[in-house]
A and B are shown apart, each in its own frame.
Chain A
Amino acid sequence: MDDLTLAGVTLGSRLILGTGGATSLHALEQAIRASGTELVTVALRRVDPVGGRAAGGLLEILERCGVGVLPNTAGCHTAVEAAKVAHLGQEAFDTTWVKLEVIGDERTLLPDAVELVPAAERLVADGFTVLPYTSDDPVLARRLADVGCAAVMPAGSPIGSGLGISNPHHVRLIRQAVEVPVILDAGIGTASDAALAMELGCDAVLVASAVTRAADPARMAAAMRHAVIGGRLACEAGRIPRRFHALASTPDDGRPAL
């Protein structure tokens, strides 16, 4: 499979793994290795040694796996808050990349477009490589690309829902609407969803819950790895047109008279 170029950086895998939802760091490490990913997301939360969130444990695993770190702004509801978390992520992880999330609704965790665009614009101005989690709205995707985002990451369906891609047509329209990479983010439930995303023309897929909350995360991570490769190849290969009736693949010519 061809490499993915994201903001000038070449990635050998078109699968990005979210680390949220894993039952243990050990299970997460196994999933990361099985996925073949080169980039994983992390959140920023309070150091809480009593509650079990010591500083450093997760980062050590990511370093051992040799994957890049993409900090997110999960849980932010305003542009101001998201920008601050992005800057804190830069401090903690020494990266200017950010998966920008500005949530507008608690039940669906869908993005707040009105806050998202100015947040993206501000962070681009601050020198960040901004990868915004967005809805499946082609116009919003174009607006995000216009303000300088390095990619757009439309939700297939709500985060953690496993509902797959609820509007494949919009995902196709987004692919046509922007020049930057399109990364299907959120809603993937199983391998066929990831393959479909790639067949629709997405450049990469970001998966978290579908892997980390699977009964066997490492096995699902391997499934996603193959699904993304298969979907990408199928997209490039060019599928046959859909037909209403059958079209024989075996020729009539030479058929014996019996």
Chain B
Amino acid sequence: MELMLNGIRQSMLDGATVADAVASLTTRTRGVAVAVNSEVVPQAGWATTALADGDRIEVLTAAQGG
């Protein structure tokens, strides 16, 4: 399936979860937050939240900011 991961088009295997998407960017889980199609997915649900074709996933972390 094709989806948008942090604004970049990606192919992922059918059945991939939020946890898989996060793992493709970072091995860390602390200090990371995820939204799928603009809805927050709590960390406890990453492994069980399946992604679908066309999903927009935002994987976010701390950045310098005032």
Q: What's the least CB distance linking A213 to chain B, in Å?
A: 11
Interface residues of A (CB under 8 A from B): 18-22, 28, 41-49, 53-56, 58-59, 62, 69, 71-72, 74, 84, 87-89, 91-93, 159-160, 186, 206, 208-209, 212
Number of interface residues of B (CB under 8 A): 24
- Most-contacted residue by chain B among A28, A44, A84, A87 (CB, 10 A): A44
Q: What's the least CB distance linking A100 to chain B, in Å?
A: 13
Q: What's the least CB distance linking B49 to chain A, in Å?
A: 13
Q: Which B-chain residue is minimally distant from A133 (CB atoms)?
A: B66
* B65-A91 in contact (CB<8A): no
* A72-B60 in contact (CB<8A): no
Q: What's the least CB distance linking B19 to chain A, in Å?
A: 14
Inter-chain CA distance A84–B39, complex, in Å, is 8
Q: For residue A42, which residues in chain B have a CB less than 8 angstroms away from its CB? A: 62-65
Q: For residue B59, which residues in chain A have a CB less than 8 angstroms away from its CB? A: 46-47
Q: Which B-chain residue is minimally distant from A101 (CB atoms)?
A: B66
- Judge whether B43 is part of the interface by a CB distance below 8 angstroms: yes
Q: For residue B38, which residues in chain A have a CB less than 8 angstroms away from its CB? A: 84
Which of B7, B26, B30, B40 is the one whose CB lies under 8 Å from A59? B30
Q: For residue A74, which residues in chain B have a CB less than 8 angstroms away from its CB? A: 65-66
Inter-chain CA distance A175–B56, complex, in Å, is 44
Inter-chain CA distance A212–B66, complex, in Å, is 10
